[in-house]
Amino acid sequence: MEQAGSLDDDAVGPDADVRNGAGPRYMALARTLRSEIENGTYPVGSKLPTEMELCKQFGASRHTVRAAIERLVRLELITRTPRIGTVVTASRAKGGYELAVGQVGDLLQYAASTRMRVVSRGLREVDEDADPVLGPYLGQHWLVIRGVRTGDAGPAPICYNEVWVHPDFRGVSGTERDIEASVFHLIEQQFNVAVSRIEQVIHAGALPADIAQLLLVPPGTAGLWINRQYRDAGGRLIEMALSVHPADRFSYRMVLDRTWRSVQG
């Protein structure tokens, strides 16, 4: 009889073990193992259980376990060596943060593992200097929330956040101080709307003085700028969010699967 967790590697991927829409299961496994490394369950110099042992412990597929282990490798908590095994090399993760995105749920997972510290919140009129995405809304008064997002990898902020909320939803509550979830998730819960599509634009650029000050880096530091537009099924813009990351504190990973179709002659 096949043991629990020993699923065929070709049959499933790390996203197959998704529970209640909370995001890829490998993220939860990685977070649990990371916690156990940090609390001394697996001290520096010790070995983690083998893949098969972890599969049995968690009742997870080998793909899920491997993805979790790979995440710990990228955080420089462990190293994998043939014939030796997986060895713990650090008790704390590196200072950077990696966001792996394959679906909307991954952004919820990201928000759940970080928090936004609000530094300002108020209404702002959309004028000609606003982001071009907001051009159709010239003259409207949107709720603008500014702050920095932090995680558990270190005290330095992960990024600067600037969130523009459509006037229909500017009454959203829970955005006055620290925000433990994403703003768009709060809007979905409170206004019975659903984000169906997220459009994303990424570019590189130097950080201006005001943002650099909040991120505790010198002005002109290289940064990654991410503009996300959250839309409902009809294409209406619910929220526009800008995230600005210092280059040395963040990496962005995306997996694109190609679906092959047979061509009949």
Rg (CA), the chain: 21
Q: With a cut of 70, say whether residue 215 has pLDDT above it.
A: yes
Residue 49's domain spans which residues? 1-94
pLDDT value of position 76: 83
How much is the pTM? 0.61
| Domain total of the chain | 2
Shared domain check, 188 and 73: no
d(CA 104, CA 121): 25
The tens digit of pLDDT for each residue in 109-122 reads 455 567 889 999 99
Tokens coding 56 = 């049995």
% pLDDT > 70, the chain: 76
What is the maximum span of the chain, computed from C-alpha positions, in angstroms?
Answer: 67
d(CA 11, CA 4): 15
Tokens coding 64 = 């899920």
d(CA 257, CA 155): 35
In a domain, 159, yes or no: yes
Residue finishing a domain among 59, 94, 129: 94
Q: With a cut of 60, say whether residue 220 has pLDDT above it.
A: yes
Q: With a cut of 90, say whether residue 142 has pLDDT above it.
A: yes
CA distance to 19, 100, 146, 228, 252, per residue, from 255 (Å): 20, 8, 30, 18, 10
d(CA 72, CA 5): 20
Which range (8-17, 52-61, 67-76, 248-257) has the least confidence? 8-17
